[in-house]
Amino acid sequence: MSKPVVAIVGRPNVGKSTLFNALAGEKISIVKDTPGVTRDRIYADVTWLDKTFTMIDTGGIEPDSSDIILSQMREQAQIAIDTADVIIFITDVHQGLVDSDAKVADMLRRSGKPVVLVVNKVDSIQKFMMDVYEFYNLGIGEPIPISAANRMGLGDMLDEVAKHFPEDADTEEDDEIPRIAIVGKPNVGKSSLVNKLLGEDRVIVSDIAGTTRDAVDTRVKWQGKDYIFIDTAGLRRKGKVKEEIERYSVIRTVTAVERADVVIVMIDASEGVTEQDAKIAGIAHERGKGVIIAVNKWDAIEKNDKTIYKHTNRIREVLAYMPYAELVFISAKTGLRISRMFETIDAVIENQTLRIQTGVLNEILSEAVAMQQPPSDKGKRLKIYYMTQVAVKPPTFVIFVNDKELMHFSYTRYLENKIRDAFGFAGTSLKFIIRERGEKE
Ligand SMILES: Nc1nc2c(ncn2[C@@H]2O[C@H](COP(=O)(O)OP(=O)(O)OP(=O)(O)O)[C@@H](O)[C@H]2O)c(=O)[nH]1
Ligand SMILES: Nc1nc2c(ncn2[C@@H]2O[C@H](COP(=O)(O)OP(=O)(O)OP(=O)(O)O)[C@@H](O)[C@H]2O)c(=O)[nH]1
């Protein structure tokens, strides 16, 4: 299920980072098993009551002359308009209503995107409420007073944000059509791939109306079936500092990946797999999407009978956290193995939505447990009662045990391998939730 994207926009020093941290809580500092994925605060998942969304921070602004602040705010707001479902526009009751706030508010209003106006640093309602009313003048709705530092008003704010989430996106008509995001570092061949998909005569294209996001959605027909490709090419924005470009490209990758069922991570064969590739692939991995690694420009390198193995080994090594990822060697230029890619997409989608019956699962479980005893600690042995699949996209399994503490990562992985031996699940990550029996479902 694709999570809504919420972006935070505001002047320097109004408290964007404070709000971001208050909402992301400790989740963001959790060390994940994905090496190379930067833990800086560009994006985080937030859960509010029964809703989960992806929050993005469109970036810091260097407090400089007011001209520069305004142009950077516009840039930030544009990123938010391009990528977010809901925009939180944050202002500061101490600074009061500033001219650049009004200009950015105009821009946001014209975009038609839902905007939630919040006024931060309202540490005392009695003291500041009169000042909050001033922000009505922005013409983007009712200002919601919060104090990010004291975590006050955040519930009201999130209620307002959640009102704008698309209603159960999964029931939308074209939600049956698989969405495939094409991601990868600059120059790897993303646009060339999309062009190739369009250029082939078996492909019929139509632009999708109402696509408001920055990433370009392209509908393609192949062997009678529809696919929607989400293209993130052209990430570079000229004249910007390196950090900003990187932030922007991470935001676009995250939001494109979020909307996709399957992610094609493109790697340049002529350069080999790099750390940057690992970071990009890590975003797809973290979000539980189907992953196909497309090693592009295969036409451009010299090959002998060992080349493909060398590349495969190197990629498996650098992307060791996603051994399940499918690997296809392609050329966006010549069209080499493009049809193979469609077949792989179909297979990955099938695997992402595969449901295994509890009975079958537990046969595998008892065999696995018989072959390798579960770990024990201080005389207490892990008991595994049963396992059941609770979700798809990615396939998610709950394992009921006597004591969570005893469940080692390595034993979970052992069980994962057994499940993969039986059902494959190629191209998709599997998620495991360990519960103690007696806990609520
Ligand atoms: N009194 C008060 N101060 C706050 C509140 N929230 C944030 N601040 C303070 O405001 C200052 C700026 O907060 P940041 O979160 O860094 O602001 P920012 O918008 O991320 O700033 P930039 O990175 O410059 O864009 C810090 O000194 C915070 O402690 C609040 O609710 N009340
Ligand atoms: N030899 C060869 N060159 C390719 C292939 N695919 C792309 N290229 C070349 O690589 C360069 C970059 O291709 P693009 O498709 O623009 O790359 P991109 O990933 O969309 O780049 P950004 O827009 O910067 O993100 C172009 O010069 C392409 O002609 C391929 O399969 N083989």
| Mutation probe of ligand 2 site: the residue of 182, 187, 197, 276 with most atoms within 8 A of C-beta | 187
pLDDT digits (tens, 9 = 90+) for 58-115: 765 555 566 777 777 787 888 888 888 999 999 999 999 988 899 889 989 998 899 9
Question: Distance between CA 183 and CA 231 in Å, rounded?
Answer: 7
The token pair at 96 is: 């009061």
Looking at residue 159, its pLDDT comes to: 94
Q: Given pLDDT bands bounded at 50, 70 and 90, which one contains residue 42?
A: confident
CATH of the domain at 407: 3.30.300.20
Residues 204 and 276 in one domain: yes
Say if residue 202's pLDDT is above 50: no
Q: Are strands 216-222 and 205-207 parallel, antiparallel or unpaired?
A: antiparallel
Q: What are the respective helix, strand and coil percentages of the chain, to the nearest 5?
A: 40, 25, 35
Per-residue pLDDT, 187 = 86
What is the mean predicted confidence (pLDDT) over 287-299? Answer: 95
Q: How far is the CA of 39 from the centre of ligand 2 (A)?
A: 29
Residues 247 and 102 occupy one common structural domain:
no
Which position has the token pair 């798809």?
392
SS3 233: coil
Same domain, 218 and 318: yes
Do 108 and 203 reside in the same domain of the chain?
no
**CA-to-CA dists, residue 377 to 124, 371, 387, 410, angstroms:** 52, 19, 22, 14
**Position 233 confidence tier, pLDDT thresholds 50, 70, 90:** low
pLDDT bin (cut points 50, 70, 90) of residue 45 is confident
pLDDT in tens, 118-151: 999 999 988 888 899 999 999 999 999 999 999 9
The model's confidence at residue 212, banded by pLDDT at 50, 70 and 90, is very low
pLDDT level of residue 174 (50, 70, 90 thresholds): low
Taking 50 as the threshold, does the pLDDT of residue 318 lie above it?
yes
Q: 392 pLDDT band (50/70/90 cuts)?
A: very high
Distance, CA 47 to ligand 2 centroid (Å)? 38
pTM of the model: 0.74
Note whether residue 88 is domain-resident: yes
Does residue 22 sit in the same domain as residue 103? yes
Q: Is the CB of 233 under 6 A from ligand 2?
A: yes
pLDDT at 39 over 60: no
pLDDT of residue 213: 38
pLDDT digits (tens, 9 = 90+) for 237-276: 555 566 666 777 788 888 889 889 999 999 999 999 999 8
The first and second tokens of residue 84, run together, are: 């977010």
Range of the domain at 42: 5-163
Confidence of residue 199 (pLDDT cuts 50, 70, 90): low
Residues 159 and 249 in one domain: no
Residue 145 belongs to a domain: yes
CA distance 100 to 107: 11
Given 304, 319, 352, which residue is the final one in a domain?
352
Any idea what the CATH number is for the domain that residue 273 is in?
A: 3.40.50.300
* 412 occurs within a structural domain: yes
Domain-embedded: residue 385: yes
329, 180: one domain: yes
Residue 239 lies in a domain: yes
| Centre of ligand 1 from the C-alpha of residue 53, in Å | 23
State whether 187 and 88 are in the same domain.
no
Which conformational region is residue 337 in: left (phi greater than 0), alpha (psi within -120 to 50 degrees), or beta? left
Whether 301 and 329 share a structural domain: yes
Report whether 48 belongs to an annotated binding site. no
User: Which amino acid would we find at residue 424?
Assistant: G
Domain boundary among 300, 317, 352: 352
Q: What is the domain count for the chain?
A: 3
Higher per-residue pLDDT: 70 or 6 = 6
Mean per-residue pLDDT, 336-363:
94
Cα distance between residue 254 and residue 252, in whole Å = 5
Say if residue 216 is in the same domain as residue 309: yes
The sign of the torsion formed by the CA atoms of 210, 215, 219, 225 equals: negative
Residue 441 in domain: no
Nearest Cα to Cα of residue 10 among 64, 58, 52: 58
Is the confidence at residue 155, as pLDDT, over 90?
Answer: yes
Q: What value does the mean pLDDT of the chain take?
A: 84
Which of 136, 163, 190 is the endpoint of a domain?
Answer: 163
Query: Does residue 12 have its Cβ closer than 6 Å to ligand 1?
Result: yes
Pick the more confident residue, 84 or 216. 84
Higher-pLDDT residue of 34 and 14 is 14
Which residues does 52 contact at the CB level (< 8 Å), separation at least 6? 3, 45, 46
Instruction: Return the pLDDT at 285.
Output: 92
- Residues 63, 124: one domain? yes
At 317, is the pLDDT very low, low, confident or very high (cuts 50, 70, 90)? very high
- Which pLDDT score is estimated for 241? 62
231 is in an annotated binding site: yes
- pLDDT band at residue 32 under the 50/70/90 scheme: very low
219 domain residue, yes or no? yes
Asked, for residue 23, whether it belongs to a domain, the answer is yes
Mutate to test the pocket of ligand 2, among 192, 297, 336 (most ligand atoms within 8 A of CB): 192
* Residue 425 confidence (pLDDT): 95
pLDDT at residue 189 tops 60: yes
ipTM > 0.90 for the complex: no
Q: Are residues 236 and 118 in the same domain?
A: no
